[in-house]
A and B are shown apart, each in its own frame.
Chain A
Amino acid sequence: MSYHSFLLEPISCHAWNKDRTQIAICPNNHEVHIYKKEGSKWSRIHELKEHSGHVTGIGWAPESNRIVTCGTDRNAYVWSLKGNVWKPTLVILRINRAARCVKWSPKENKFAVGSGSRLISICYFEQDNDWWVCKHIKKPIRSTILSLDWHPNNVLLAAGSSDFKCRVFSAYIKEVEEKPSPTPWGSKMPFGELMFESSGTGGWVHGVCFSDSGNRLGWVSHDSTVCVTDANKKTTVAILDTESLPLLTVTFITESSLVAAGHDCYPVLFTYDNAKDTVTFGKKLDIPKQNVQQGLSALAKFRNLDKHASADDNNVHLETLHKNSISQISVLEGGKKNCLKFCTTGMDGGMAIWDIKTLEADLKGLKIV
């Protein structure tokens, strides 16, 4: 596991380039900074300054090497590298509230932006006008879209919203792609068609993720639950009520295992059992540093009793790698099928890279199915 502290402020969002040598982060302001790994140090090589509001989402398309950013200024920009400079192109989203999240589609010919205007903007490039245009998915969304994830077929899109629901929509744009073949989520997929809507849990849906095959959908919400559903049995949702604080972000690392992280500041492994329709808690994926436990003097004991109402000082120091909530998780190596490394960024301004093989070796009883 390696941890690098970029800033003292929260990292609003991050995105990696294709070969994982550069990372684009938003340091909680109107800019995007791109850092390059040089040996064991990170140096800032680019600053993308165009937004007039906080940047809330960054997407880096691996093949076409374009960056899309969206922000609270209700705009999105697509950046292309010309020579050694990133040049922005404005995308008119036609929204009247802040943009909250953005994701490139798998084929990188479209991207989706979730916003506080209670709609999703699907943007694609129109060759004739040399301009990015967008189409809106509005019904039946009733509140802000907090998270998005694309299905591998480039058409279906999962959206988690603060109206307590996780939905799957069709984002089929006939101008840029062929009609999609039927999937377990449904066969008729006109633009804006609602393929699935969750029910049964409350709380804002902070993070959604499709599995590698696209047949499974996992989401985490603010009522401390993790849910997974399989497209082949859309009506049964496996729900796990966790005992920890709400999780903010989730990703599949194999077809049946998910890693999620949130306000508890450490990533957690969950396992989905398709046969039993259950999600079970796997393990907490953080190896705390072994603190040398010195004997507490009587003075220290009473002082702790007075200050913290407990004799020991276990609860005062966070033993996790991240010292504040983790807001975003991204897969670095291996894809969502067989993830080998993943990265987390959080409100402590730090970025940690987690190695699955090392975790399996160090944590006894860690089983990833």
Chain B
Amino acid sequence: MSKNTSTDKFRRVNVDDYDENNYVDEDEGGENQIGPDEAEVDASIRQGNLNAALQAALKNPPINTKNQAVKDRAEATVVKVLTSFKSNDIEKAVQSLDKNSIDLLMKYIYKGFEKPSENSSAILLQWHEKVLAAGGVGSVVRVLTARKTV
């Protein structure tokens, strides 16, 4: 092979950076978003008050922050709460949430699907069924079209 085919650094160039018409999302200042308070969530789980744990886990969603660690921690917290629910209690818990919380919960559920652990997908599917009944396909569409998600 001739010499000039040896390097392939050009394959790693992100051509979108050089496109002057490239659409860049606006920065909406997410530095202060720290995610749900894990201590509060853990305390509620230990007390057995799972509904309160769910409400606490859905507070302060790290939507705008660019810090991946915060997002991972938040997702882990929410999945922990969701897996500690008994199957029969899921529906009642979903009924107690308002519209925005339903949309947010759907976002976390899909985030949870992305990184499955041994039993999480099955539990998440049960939650998905109940949240879908409450939020409709519109809530799924909003997960898919959201530019900034949890």
Establish whether residues B135 and A243, one from each chain, have CB atoms under 8 Å apart when the complex forms.
yes
Q: Are A222 and B141 in contact (CB under 8 A)?
A: yes
Cα–Cα distance between A204 and B60 once the two chains are bound (Å): 27
Residue of A nearest to B141 (CB): A224
Q: Find out whether the CB atom of A222 lies under 8 angstroms from the CB atom of B23.
A: no
Q: State whether B137 touches A223 (Cβ < 8 A).
A: no
Across-interface contacts of B103 in A (CB, < 8 A): 241
Cβ distance A132 to chain B, nearest Cβ, rounded Å: 27
Chain B nearest CB from A118 CB (Å) reads: 7
Contact residues of A: prevailing secondary structure: loop
| Interchain CB contact (< 8 A) of A224 among B21, B23, B138, B147 | B138
Contact, CB under 8 Å: B141 / A202? no
Which residues on A sit within 8 Å (CB–CB) of B21?
118, 142
Closest to B146 in A: A202
Indicate if the CB atoms of B23 and A223 lie closer than 8 Å.
no
Inter-chain contacts of B147 with A (CB < 8 A): 164, 202
Q: Indicate whether B68 reaches chain A with its CB closer than 8 angstroms.
A: no
Q: How far is the CA of A242 from the CA of B142 in the complex (A)?
A: 10
Give the CA-CA distance A143 to B21 in the complex, in Å: 9
Set B23, B137, B139, B145: member contacting A143, Cβ < 8 A: B23
Minimum CB distance partner of A264 in chain B: B137
Q: Give the shortest distance, in Å, between B64 (CB) and chain A (any CB).
A: 13
How far is it, in angstroms, between the C-alpha of A365 and the C-alpha of B77 when the chains are bound? 44
Minimum distance in angstroms from B75 CB to a CB of chain A: 20
Q: Which residues of B contact A246 (CB under 8 A)?
A: 141
Which residues of B have CB within 8 Å of A203? 141, 145
Q: How many residues of B contact A (CB 8 A)?
A: 14
Chain B residues within 8 Å of A164, by CB? 147
Chain A residues with Cβ below 8 Å from B138 are 224, 241-245
Question: Is B59 in contact with chain A by the CB < 8 A criterion?
Answer: no
Nearest A residue to B138 by beta-carbon distance? A224
Q: What class of interface size applies to chain A in its complex with B?
A: 10 to 19
- Give chain B interface residues in 75-100, CB to chain A under 8 Å: 99
Assess whether B146 is in contact with A244, with CB atoms less than 8 Å apart: no
**Chain A 116-143: CB-based contact to B (< 8 A → 1; otherwise 0):** 0010000000000000000000000011
User: Contact check: which of A222, A242, A243 meets B145 at CB < 8 Å?
Assistant: A222
Minimum Cβ distance to chain B for residue A238 (Å): 14
Q: A223–B141 Cα gap in the complex (Å)?
A: 6
Cα A241 to Cα B142 with chains together (Å): 9
Closest chain-A Cβ to B132's Cβ sits at a distance in Å of: 10
Bound Cα distance from A223 to B147, whole angstroms: 10
Q: Does residue B30 face the partner (Cβ distance < 8 Å to A)? A: no
Closest A residue to B137 using CB positions: A245
CA distance A142 to B136 in the complex (A): 31
Q: Name the residue on B nearest A143 (C-beta).
A: B23
- A selection of 30 A-B contacts at a CB cut-off of 8 Å is A118-B21, A142-B23, A163-B23, A164-B147, A202-B142, A202-B145, A202-B147, A203-B141, A203-B145, A222-B145, A223-B141, A223-B142, A223-B145, A223-B146, A224-B137, A224-B138, A224-B141, A224-B142, A225-B142, A241-B138, A241-B139, A241-B142, A242-B136, A242-B138, A243-B137, A243-B138, A244-B136, A244-B137, A245-B137, A246-B141
Further pairs besides A202-B145, A203-B145, A224-B141: 5, Cβ < 8 Å: A223-B145, A225-B142, A241-B139, A245-B138, A245-B141
